[in-house]
Amino acid sequence: MTAHQDPLIQARGLGLQYGRKRALDGLDFTIGRGRVVGLLGHNGAGKTSLMKALVGLADHEGSLQVLGMQPRRDRVALLQQVTYIPDVAILPRWARVEQLIELMAGLHPRFSAERARTLLRRTSVNPADKVKSLSRGMVVQTHLALIAAVDARLMILDEPTLGLDVLSRKAFYEMLIDEWCDGERSVIISTHQVEEIEGLLSDVMMLNEGKLVLDVPLAQIDERFVALKHDPHAAEAIAAAHPILRYRQQGEPAALFDGPPPEQVAALGRPMRPSLVDLFVALTRAPEINPQR
């Protein structure tokens, strides 16, 4: 690899244990530059454990390098170039937004106060506002403006828009994509709102019970998975071909296959693009699916 091609994150055999709970189990993956990665999974699937490992908050088994560093050992240096927003955006309620900007400028060597103020102009937040006067959506946008004003290479977001209305979620993601993603920096977004982020993603990773059941660029999903909408009379023949999911799409029966179905089965249906939601349901209910396929 050339220096430009060096991955931002590389994991081999990554595992994490909490007592008897196997939170992460033998994960192998690589995340390159300029990627927007959706990290999907049910509650307890291992998403937060993975993010904590990436920022050095949890011991782990196996090999993990983030920006060429070992997160646990090199955490201080790592956090100068990695930003992390956990699932609850907490800012001190007593502070004014301008005070938070000044505080960040004093704490983080790669923070730009001017950049933070520029980003806030995209929102309805005024630097003179106190945090306690802001709505939850405004607090989340303030948090993003502060984090995005750090000259980092990787951003990790854990359910960043939890509890926000549709307009606030849309505004958050627009700011993220417009103001932070530049083709070199990468972002990992963990969320349950799969439909809303599908159009933003370059890659998707799905966890199920600590295992990585899908790790693929979004553009390659159509190459691997086949979805067929079919007439009801073909249901028995479709089922006999063992799809990984049978469901309804716009009132019609449909089936999802991991790989091309037999030609005689494919002839019974009309192909359509599988959605991330359909894949999520199929793969997190089917742990026997081979994640390395």
What DSSP string describes 253-275? EEEEEESPPPHHHHTTEEEEPPP
Q: What is the CATH number of domain 3-209?
A: 3.40.50.300
DSSP E strand stretches across the chain: 9-18, 21-31, 36-40, 61-66, 82-85, 154-158, 186-190, 203-208, 211-217, 225-230, 245-249, 252-258, 269-272
pTM attached to this predicted model: 0.88
Q: In whole angstroms, what is the distance from residue 237 CA to residue 259 CA?
A: 17
Name which of 130, 50, 62, 144 is nearest 93 in CA terms: 130
Per the structure block, which two tokens stand in for 83? 């930003």
Q: Which residues pair with 63 in a beta bridge?
A: 12
Residue 285: the pLDDT is 75
Residue 89: the pLDDT is 64
Per the structure block, which two tokens stand in for 197? 């982020």
Say whether 81 sits in a helix, a strand or coil.
coil
pLDDT, tens digit only, all 293 positions of the chain: 333 467 999 999 999 998 888 999 999 999 999 999 999 998 889 999 999 999 999 889 999 999 999 999 999 999 999 998 876 667 889 999 999 999 999 999 999 999 999 999 988 999 999 999 999 888 988 998 999 999 999 999 998 888 788 888 888 899 889 888 888 899 999 988 888 888 899 999 999 999 999 999 999 998 899 999 999 999 999 999 999 999 998 888 999 999 999 999 999 999 998 889 999 999 987 444 444 44
Q: Is 281 within 8 Å of 247 (Cβ atoms)?
A: yes
> What is the signed CA dihedral for 218, 219, 221, 223, rounded to 10 degrees?
-170
Strand pairing class (21-31; 9-18): antiparallel
Length of the chain: 293
SS3 content of the chain, % helix, strand, coil (to 5): 35, 30, 35
Residue 238: the pLDDT is 93
Neighbours of 74 (CB within 10 A): 15
Strand pairing class (36-40; 186-190): parallel
Strand pairing class (245-249; 203-208): unpaired
Name which of 206, 209, 200 is nearest 258 in CA terms: 206
Q: What is the DSSP letter of 46?
A: S
Q: Is 55 within 8 Å of 75 (Cβ atoms)?
A: yes
Q: Which residues pair with 230 in a beta bridge?
A: 269
Residue 5: the pLDDT is 60
Residue 3: the pLDDT is 39
Burial (CB count within 10 angstroms: exposed 0-12, middle 13-18, buried 19+), residue 282: buried
